[in-house]
Structure 1
Amino acid sequence: MSTELLAPLDLAFWHLESDTHPMHLGALAVFSPVAGVTRQDLLELLGTRAAAIPRLRMRVRDVLLPVGGAAWFADKDFDVHRHVRRAVLGRGDFMAEATRLAGELMEQPLERGRPPWQMYLLDGAGDGPFAVLVKLHHALADGMRAVAIGAGIFDQVAAAGTGRGAVRRRAPLPPRPWLPGPYEVAGMALDRIGDVGRALGVGASVVRASRLDLRGTTALTATSSGTRRLATVDLDAGAVQRIRRAEGGTANDVLLAVVAGALRRWMLGRGDLPAADPRALVPVSRRRPGGAVTGNRLSAYLLDLPVGEPDARERLRLVRTAMERNKAAGPMRGAGALAVLADQLPALAHRFGAPLAGSAARMLFDILVTSVPLPRSALSLGGCPLRAVYPMAPLARGQSLAIALSTYGGQVQVGLVADGKALPDLDRLSSAVHDELRELGSLLPTVPAPA
C-alpha cells in the first residue's frame, strides 16, 4: 500500500489524543471453545490474519506538505507480535473478569510510533469461553471501517479473501511527491484559503439551523482521569423489533429510548436527575455504497434524551419525533454536522486547534450513543463460534460515558465505556438498560415483555 495522507477527520482524531486521554475505539468479541483448538493455536491465527491486513501494517508520520499534515506509511519494522498478545483472566465470572481486564487495557494509549492498534486474546480459566479485545485508534477507523478491518480475523472473511483475511480494498494510490513544484504550492495555498471560507460557511449554517445552546455541567461530564471502566448488556433483538412494529419508527429509535430510560433510572438512583435533558451525539455514516472504506466518514445528529419524562412510551414518542426531524434536515445540515467542518479545515488548523476543539465537545453534547452494524451471518475464529460482540466507543474529553450498540445472533449487545473514577457505579447503569427494555415492552399490550 502506498503513502496516503490522513483524511481531515482522521487528522483531527490523531491530534485530539493526549497521554491522559486516549482516542481509540474497540470491541470485545466473545467465543465458545471447540475441542482440539488450543489458545496458542488461536493466538498464532490472530497474528497471521492481522498481519495479512495491509492497513494494520501502516503507521502515521508527519509530512512536509500540507503543513501540519500526516500520512500513512508502511512500517518497515512491523512485527505483529508487538500487537497481538495473550492475557490470562482471573478466576471468577468470565464476563466480569473479561470486562474488568478489558477496561484496564483500554486505559493504555496506543504507541504512536507504531501502527496504532492492539489485539488481546483474553484467556478464561479451564475450557470455558475466551474473548478477543480489539483496540483501533480512531484515526485508523470509524465504526464501519473498524468492522471491515476487524472482520479480517474471522474464518469466513479470511476464506473469502483467499487467505489474506481482509475485505475488498481500493487500488493503491500513487505516491505523493515530497516536494511539489511552485505552481502546485500556490494552488495548494489557494485551496486552503477556500477551505477555510467553506468551513466558516458550514459552521454558520449549522449554528443558524440548530440554534446551538452550550451545555452546562451534568452527571455525564467529568474531568478526564484517563481511567476506563467497561460494562456489557445483552438485549433481546426480537423484543426491540416487536416494540418497533407496535409503536412505529425504527429499531434505533427504540434503543435510543431505552438508553434515555436507563439513564433516568440510574440518575434517579443517584439522586441526580438534571434540570435539562442530556444531549446525545448520534453518529451517522456518510459512506456511499461501494465507495472507499478508508478514513472516517462521519456526521451526526444531536438528540435531547428525554430523561425528565416519566412515561416510557412517551419517551419513545419524543425520541422518534426528534429523530424524524433530524433525518428530515439531514446529517449535513443539523447541529450534529460539526464533524463536516473537519473536512474543510486545513491540516495546520487540526494540529493547533484539536486540543481546544476536544475540550469544547462537552459544551455541545453530553454523551455519545452509536450503533455499529455487524455482518448478519454466523462468524467463527479457528472454528470457535462467535457468541457476542460488544462495541466500545471512545470518550470525548470532559465526558464520563459513551454507549455503543450492535446486533448479532438475535441479541443487541451494548458496550458501555466510562471514565473509571467518574462512574464507579457503571454496573447499576447496565442493569438499568435491561430493566428499561423490559418495562417498555410490558407497557404495550401486544408486545410480550422479554424474559
Structure 2
Amino acid sequence: MPEKLTPLDAAFLEIEDSDRHASLAIGAVMVAEGPAPTDHDLIERLNSRIRSLPHAADLIHTVPFDLAAPTWVADANFDPARHFTRVGVPTPGRMQDVTETVAWIMSERLDRDRPLWQCWLIEGLEDNRWAILIKAHHSLMDGITGARLFDVMFDAPPSSSSPTEKAAPAEPESLYGRIVGAYCSVLETPQRLARRSVRIVEGTAQLAGDLLIPSANTSLNGSIGRQRRYGAAQVRMHDVRTICSTFDVTVNDVALACVTSSLRSLLLHRNEDPSRNAVRTLVPVSVRSSNNGTSPHNEVSLMLPFLPVDTEDPLDRLQLIHRRLSRHKRGGESGSGQSITAAAQYAPFMSSAWFVRLAMRVPQRSIVTVVTDIPGPTDKRRLMGRDIVSIYPYVPIAVRLRLGFAILSYHDQLTFGITADYDSVSEIDLLSQSLEQEVDVLLRSTRTPSPLAEPH
C-alpha cells in the first residue's frame, strides 16, 4: 500500500502552495578539498546509495479536493542522473561565490514531477576546493533524518575500535529486580500521565498566547520576495565548549546567543530599537523517540522564546537565553506541539489542509525568525577519498519570516547558515561577522567571568 504523508509532512507542501514566494527545501553545503570527482563517479555513488533514503525514489501523488492525504508512489522512471548538476564559480572562487550560488539554487522550487531532492557540485573554489549542495524538500525529511544524507554521500568512517575488542557483558538483572521494577512502574504511570497532561495543557495555552501576541514592529518581519541571500559563519567547537563549561550553559544556548547578537547588531545598524519583545523566534524541537530514530517522517515540535536583543552585555544575554529556554522546556510547549500534530492524524485530511491554507491567509506578526540546529558528523569525514573541510546548513523561510538561521556541528566546528530575503535583508555579511564575533567576546569572558545577570 502507498504510504501516506503525515499531516506535518503535508503541511510543508500546503505552505509552499499558499505562498508563491516560498521554496520549502532544506539543504547542506559540504566543502571538500582535492580534485573534484567526475560526474560519472558521483552519479555512481548516488545510484548505489540514494535508494537507502526513504522515498528518495518516490513521487508525491495528491488526491483531488484533498479528499485524502497525499501518498508516496514509486517513480517508474527514476534516474539519479536527472537529479545531479555541475556548476562552476569564477576562479579563484571564494566562499562568497559559493553562498551566492547556494542562494540562487535554493530560491528555486523543486519539481514535484520528480522525487524531491537534488545534488549540485560547485567547482572552481580557491585552494583546490569544491563543494556539494544537497537539496531536499522539507516534506521528505526533517533535520534529524536529513543527517542520513551524510551517510549516503560520505565514505564509510573508520572503525573506532579494534575488531578484537568486545564490550563487557551486562550484568543480568535478577527476576526479583524485574518484578519490583515493573510494580513500581505500574504505580508511577498514572502520576506521570497526570503530570504530563497538565504540562501539555499549560504548554498549549502558552503556545496559543505566544502566537496571538505580536512581536514589536520592526523591519525584520514582513512580506518576502522569491529570491534569497545566503551567508555562512564558522566557530571552533572547542571555544564553544569552553564557554559552556565555564558558564554552565549548553551549545544550543551559545548558538542562540550568537544569533541574538547578530539580530541586535542588525537592528542597531538600521537605527531601530532592539526592544524586549522585538524578536520572537521559532525553535524546532525534535520529538523523535529513541526507538523511532529510523522514521522517515518529520517529527518536530516547537518553542517560541523571545531573544534578548534588548540586553547589551553578551554574558547577560547568554544567561538570559539559558533561563528562558529552560523555562520553555519545563513549560511543556514541545509536548503540546507534538500532541497537536499527533491529533491531526485522526482528523479528515481535508480539514487539516484547509486549516493550513486559511492560516496562511492571515499575516502572522508574532514570529520574526527561525533558529534550528542539526546534528552533523562528530568525526572527520571523506567523500570519495577527499577530506570534507566544512559543512554549512540551510533552512528555508516563508510566511513573513525574512531571516532564518541553521546551526550544524561537524567535528571541531560549529557552523551557521543564514537564509535571508533578498529584497529586505542586504546586510548578510554583518550577520555573519556578528555571529563569529560573539563567540570571541564570550570566550574572553571565560578568562575574567563576571557575576551572573539577575533575571529580568
Aligned position for 1:24:
25
C-alpha change, 1:323 and 1:337, in structure 2 (3 Å) is farther
- Contact kept, 8 Å, 2:370 with 2:405, in 1: the verdict is yes
User: SS of the residue aligned with 2:23?
Assistant: coil
Deviations 1:69-104 (A, max 9, x none): 110111111121221111111234421111111100
C-alpha change, 1:417 and 1:66, in structure 2 (3 Å) is closer
Counterpart amino acid of residue 409 in structure 1: H
Kindly indicate whether residue 26 of structure 2 is the aligned counterpart of residue 33 of structure 1: no
Aligned position for 1:347:
349
Distance in 2 between residues matched to 1:293 and 1:31, nearest whole Å: 30
Q: How do residues 96-115 of structure 1 correspond to structure 2 at under 5 angstroms?
A: 96-115=96-115
Aligned position for 2:453:
none
Deviation at 1:27, TM superposition (A): 0.9
Aligned position for 2:180:
none
TM-score by length of 1: 0.82
Q: How do residues 401-416 of structure 1 correspond to structure 2 at under 5 angstroms?
A: 401-416=403-418
Deviation at 1:219, TM superposition (A): 2.5
Bigger mean CA offset, 327-336 vs 16-25: 327-336
Distance in 2 between residues matched to 1:311 and 1:280, nearest whole Å: 20
Deviations 1:309-350 (A, max 9, x none): 111111111111111111212344467986566556431123
Aligned position for 2:299:
297
Distance in 1 between residues matched to 2:332 and 2:201, nearest whole Å: 15
Aligned position for 2:204:
206
Aligned position for 1:44:
43
- Contact kept, 8 Å, 1:214 with 1:364, in 2: the verdict is yes
Counterpart amino acid of residue 281 in structure 2: A
Q: How do residues 247-262 of structure 1 correspond to structure 2 at under 5 angstroms?
A: 247-262=247-262
Counterpart amino acid of residue 432 in structure 2: S
Q: How do residues 116-155 of structure 1 correspond to structure 2 at under 5 angstroms?
A: 116-125=116-125, 128-155=128-155
Unaligned 5+ residue runs, structure 2?
A: 160-199, 450-456
C-alpha change, 1:424 and 1:411, in structure 2 (3 Å) is same
C-alpha change, 1:218 and 1:126, in structure 2 (3 Å) is closer
Distance in 2 between residues matched to 1:45 and 1:403, nearest whole Å: 33
Distance in 1 between residues matched to 2:443 and 2:342, nearest whole Å: 37
Distance in 2 between residues matched to 1:313 and 1:214, nearest whole Å: 28
Deviations 1:288-309 (A, max 9, x none): 1131421100001111100001
Bigger mean CA offset, 389-398 vs 273-282: 273-282
Looking at CA atoms only, which structure, 1 or 2, has the larger radius of gyration?
Answer: 2
- Contact kept, 8 Å, 1:361 with 1:397, in 2: the verdict is yes
TM-score by length of 2: 0.81
Deviations 1:87-143 (A, max 9, x none): 111234421111111100001100112111111011125771111111111100010
User: SS of the residue aligned with 2:56?
Assistant: helix
Bigger mean CA offset, 45-54 vs 385-394: 45-54
Distance in 2 between residues matched to 1:395 and 1:49, nearest whole Å: 32
Unaligned 5+ residue runs, structure 1?
A: 160-201
Deviation at 1:51, TM superposition (A): 4.2
Distance in 2 between residues matched to 1:444 and 1:360, nearest whole Å: 45
Aligned position for 1:3:
2
User: SS of the residue aligned with 2:90?
Assistant: coil
Distance in 2 between residues matched to 1:376 and 1:125, nearest whole Å: 25
Distance in 1 between residues matched to 2:133 and 2:305, nearest whole Å: 30
Distance in 1 between residues matched to 2:11 and 2:280, nearest whole Å: 22
Deviation at 1:438, TM superposition (A): 1.2
Aligned position for 1:386:
388
Deviations 1:231-277 (A, max 9, x none): 00001111111111111121111111121112112211121234323
Q: Calculate percent identity across the aligned residue pairs.
A: 27
Counterpart amino acid of residue 8 in structure 1: P
Aligned position for 2:240:
240
Aligned position for 2:426:
424
- Contact kept, 8 Å, 2:232 with 2:418, in 1: the verdict is yes
Q: How do residues 296-315 of structure 1 correspond to structure 2 at under 5 angstroms?
A: 296-315=298-317
- Contact kept, 8 Å, 2:231 with 2:432, in 1: the verdict is yes
Bigger mean CA offset, 50-59 vs 251-260: 50-59
Aligned position for 1:188:
none
Deviations 1:187-234 (A, max 9, x none): xxxxxxxxxxxxxxx799613576334324432212121111100000
Aligned position for 1:438:
440
C-alpha change, 1:30 and 1:281, in structure 2 (3 Å) is same
- Contact kept, 8 Å, 1:361 with 1:396, in 2: the verdict is no
Aligned position for 2:57:
57
Counterpart amino acid of residue 288 in structure 1: S
Aligned position for 2:194:
none
Distance in 2 between residues matched to 1:9 and 1:403, nearest whole Å: 21
Kindly indicate whether residue 289 of structure 2 is the aligned counterpart of residue 288 of structure 1: yes
- Contact kept, 8 Å, 1:66 with 1:347, in 2: the verdict is yes
- Contact kept, 8 Å, 1:326 with 1:334, in 2: the verdict is no
Distance in 1 between residues matched to 2:254 and 2:245, nearest whole Å: 10
Deviation at 1:357, TM superposition (A): 2.8
Counterpart amino acid of residue 428 in structure 1: L
C-alpha change, 1:295 and 1:222, in structure 2 (3 Å) is same
C-alpha change, 1:359 and 1:252, in structure 2 (3 Å) is farther
- Contact kept, 8 Å, 1:154 with 1:381, in 2: the verdict is yes
Deviation at 1:278, TM superposition (A): 0.4
Deviation at 1:65, TM superposition (A): 11
Deviation at 1:41, TM superposition (A): 4.9
- Contact kept, 8 Å, 1:85 with 1:119, in 2: the verdict is yes
Deviations 1:361-420 (A, max 9, x none): 843311110110112122111111111111111113211111011111211010001111
Aligned position for 2:192:
none
Bigger mean CA offset, 381-390 vs 64-73: 64-73
User: SS of the residue aligned with 2:46?
Assistant: helix
Kindly indicate whether residue 12 of structure 2 is the aligned counterpart of residue 13 of structure 1: yes
User: SS of the residue aligned with 2:225?
Assistant: coil
User: SS of the residue aligned with 1:156?
Assistant: coil
Deviation at 1:359, TM superposition (A): 5.1
- Contact kept, 8 Å, 1:300 with 1:337, in 2: the verdict is no
C-alpha change, 1:439 and 1:126, in structure 2 (3 Å) is closer
- Contact kept, 8 Å, 1:331 with 1:337, in 2: the verdict is no
Bigger mean CA offset, 408-417 vs 216-225: 216-225
User: SS of the residue aligned with 2:309?
Assistant: coil
C-alpha change, 1:357 and 1:158, in structure 2 (3 Å) is farther
Bigger mean CA offset, 54-63 vs 236-245: 54-63
Deviation at 1:63, TM superposition (A): 4.1
Distance in 1 between residues matched to 2:30 and 2:425, nearest whole Å: 24
- Contact kept, 8 Å, 1:120 with 1:133, in 2: the verdict is yes
Deviation at 1:15, TM superposition (A): 1.2
